């Protein structure tokens, strides 16, 4: 119950804590204060304490947090103590690259199936997984307890595919198409809009250049 | 000068405005009110007006904004009226997928070179661009006016590569490695941490599941 009201902003910061704590643990660090973690992560110590208080504070006692405990607790909150099975819909370059990406497996995300609208890609193999036609998707999802669909289809077919996935009772969609998906409430969506990120970079390059020209 | 104080939060929203306005334009829409844009984008009209006021408001007159004008102005602010040349450092699956991605070119981001630490990948061709050894990178950047380096190297070599790029006076780094880069102030960095996004999705799947179990 206590996890119910937590804002997506706090949730969005948890993976970063998890990443830093994993590195500290790998480096053999046993305890860390919020002040030290603050310096390492370049966020304020009060932000860290506020974030952690959402989850009961993780029992900071005496000198700081127990790194191993904190790492495991945040992993559990993120659901990384369970495995999640995913399929990739869209077997183009990005879909194939994500299928081959081993790091997801390390975190318990298992690449189980791949689908494409294009019959020419059907039968192609990506890390031992054969591309199947879209018609086989519904049955595959239900028979294999698939949680997540990774969407790497072109913008033009994304709504059609998303609607099919809704009918299949998919739990979550990780969307790489350049469209914001508005789906029924029960389906979790995370958008990765690569072009948006690149445009932000472009803005910052130009702003910096302009500032420098003005100060010359 | 007026663009100087704008927060990264506002900048982060500009590409999304640009995306929606581009679609409206393609659909032949000429004018749109902030209220209509608000309903379409699912943000408040006051947020839209506040965001746009950072850039002088874009001359909303009578009935709403001129779509074509707004689209072009936001594109100009994002620096999309100029071309940006980029190289990809790290010729693995993700690097290759990004190299093959044509949409970036449409926005004026030109894929010019590719580099890898692994001699076995040198000579391989990705969309007409040959993978070169790291030793050739500095000269290539200065001779070809490269603005952006896309970093798709493993976590273990990212700092070494980033330091080389700093020495090459690269303007910006688009970082896909799971490390937060802390670089000198003049270098713009955008991080795309795919695993962080996937973990957030995992959290939301589990939270939704828990809520539903409780309410049953």
C-alpha–C-alpha distance, residues A52 and A32, integer Å: 14
B 99-138 residues with CB < 8 A to A: 100-101, 103-104, 107, 109
Whether chain A has a CB inside 8 Å of the CB on B64: the answer is: no
CB contact under 8 A, A172 and B82: no
User: Counting every residue, how long is chain A?
Assistant: 216
Q: What is the pLDDT of residue B63?
A: 77
Joined together, the tokens standing for residue A216 give 């010359």
Residues of A in contact with B204 (CB under 8 A): 11, 172, 188, 190
ipTM metric: 0.89
Report the residue of chain A nearest B9, measured CA to CA.
A200
Whether chain B has a CB inside 8 Å of the CB on A18: the answer is: yes
Whether chain A has a CB inside 8 Å of the CB on B204: the answer is: yes
Q: What is the pLDDT of residue A182?
A: 82
Most B CBs within 10 Å: which of A90, A93, A182, as the mutation test of the B interface? A93
Whether chain B has a CB inside 8 Å of the CB on A195: the answer is: yes
The arithmetic mean of pLDDT across residues A101-125, rounded, is 93
Q: What is the pLDDT of residue B96?
A: 94
Distance in Å, alpha carbon of A115 to nearest chain B alpha carbon: 18
> Hey, how many other C-beta atoms are within 10 angstroms of the C-beta on B76?
13
Burial class (CB in 10 A: 0-12, 13-18, 19+), B52: buried
Report the residue of chain A nearest B109, measured CA to CA.
A198
Q: How would residue B8 be classed by pLDDT, with cut points 50, 70 and 90?
A: confident
Most A CBs within 10 Å: which of B198, B205, B208, as the mutation test of the A interface? B198
pLDDT digits (tens, 9 = 90+) for B145-156: 999 999 999 988
The arithmetic mean of pLDDT across residues A19-31, rounded, is 94
**Strand pairing partners for B27?**
none
Q: What is the pLDDT of residue A7?
A: 87
Exposure string (b/e) for B15-36, b if CB count within 10 Å is 16 or more?
Answer: bbbbbbbebbeeeeeebbebeb
Whether chain B has a CB inside 8 Å of the CB on A211: the answer is: yes
Nearest to A97 among B96, B172, B192 (CB): B96
The arithmetic mean of pLDDT across residues B46-58, rounded, is 87
C-alpha–C-alpha distance, residues A126 and A2, integer Å: 41
C-alpha–C-alpha distance, residues A142 and A154, integer Å: 25
Q: How would residue B141 be classed by pLDDT, with cut points 50, 70 and 90?
A: very high
Most B CBs within 10 Å: which of A198, A207, A208, A214, as the mutation test of the B interface? A198
Q: What is the pLDDT of residue B61?
A: 64
**Phi, psi (rounded to 5 degrees) for A84:** -125, 130
C-alpha–C-alpha distance, residues B102 and B120, integer Å: 26
User: Counting every residue, how long is chain B?
Assistant: 216
Residues of A in contact with B203 (CB under 8 A): 11, 14, 77-79
Whether chain B has a CB inside 8 Å of the CB on A29: the answer is: no
C-alpha–C-alpha distance, residues B75 and B97, integer Å: 25
pTM score:
0.89
DSSP conformation letters of B68-132 = HHHHHHHHHHTTTTS-EEEEEE--SHHHHHHHH-THHHHTTEEEEEEEES-TTTTT-EETTEEEE
Q: What is the pLDDT of residue A71?
A: 95
Of B6, B154, B206, B92, the C-alpha closest to A211 is: B6
Say how many CA atoms lie within 13 Å of A14 toward its Cβ.
31
More confident residue, A59 or A117: A117
C-alpha–C-alpha distance, residues A48 and A35, integer Å: 9
**Sheet of A172-175, strands arranged across:** A125-126, A129-133, A109-116, A84-89, A148-151, A172-175, A188-191
Would you say B75 and B65 are in contact if contact means Cβ atoms under 8 Å apart?
no
CB contact under 8 A, A195 and B11: no
Q: What is the pLDDT of residue A2?
A: 46
Residues of B in contact with A15 (CB under 8 A): 193, 195-197, 199-200
Joined together, the tokens standing for residue B187 give 């270098």
**Strand pairing partners for A189?**
A173
The arithmetic mean of pLDDT across residues B174-200, rounded, is 92
The arithmetic mean of pLDDT across residues A98-127, rounded, is 93
Least confident residue range of A90-99, B24-33, B205-214: B205-214
CB contact under 8 A, B198 and A109: yes
Residues of A in contact with B88 (CB under 8 A): none
């Amino acid at each position: 119950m206590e996890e119910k009201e937590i804002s997506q902003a706090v949730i969005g910061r948890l993976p970063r804590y998890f990443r830093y704590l994993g590195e500290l643990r790998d480096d053999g660090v046993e305890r860390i204060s919020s002040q030290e973690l603050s310096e390492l992560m370049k966020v304020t110590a009060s932000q860290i304490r506020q974030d952690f208080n959402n989850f009961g504070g993780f029992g900071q006692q005496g000198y700081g947090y127990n790194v191993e405990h904190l790492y495991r607790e945040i992993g559990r909150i993120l659901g990384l103590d369970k495995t999640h099975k995913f399929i990739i819909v869209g077997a183009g370059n990005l879909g194939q690259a994500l299928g081959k990406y081993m790091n997801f497996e390390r975190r318990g995300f298992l690449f189980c199936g791949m689908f494409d609208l294009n019959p020419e890609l059907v039968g192609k193999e990506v890390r031992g997984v054969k591309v199947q036609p879209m018609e086989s998707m519904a049955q595959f999802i239900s028979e294999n307890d698939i949680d997540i669909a990774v969407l790497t289809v072109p913008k033009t077919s994304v709504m059609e595919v998303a609607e099919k996935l809704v009918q299949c009772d998919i739990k979550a969609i990780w969307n790489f198409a350049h469209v914001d998906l508005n789906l029924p409430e029960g389906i979790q969506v995370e958008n990765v809009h690569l072009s948006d990120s690149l445009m932000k970079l472009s803005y910052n390059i130009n702003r910096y250049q302009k500032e420098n020209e003005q100060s010359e």
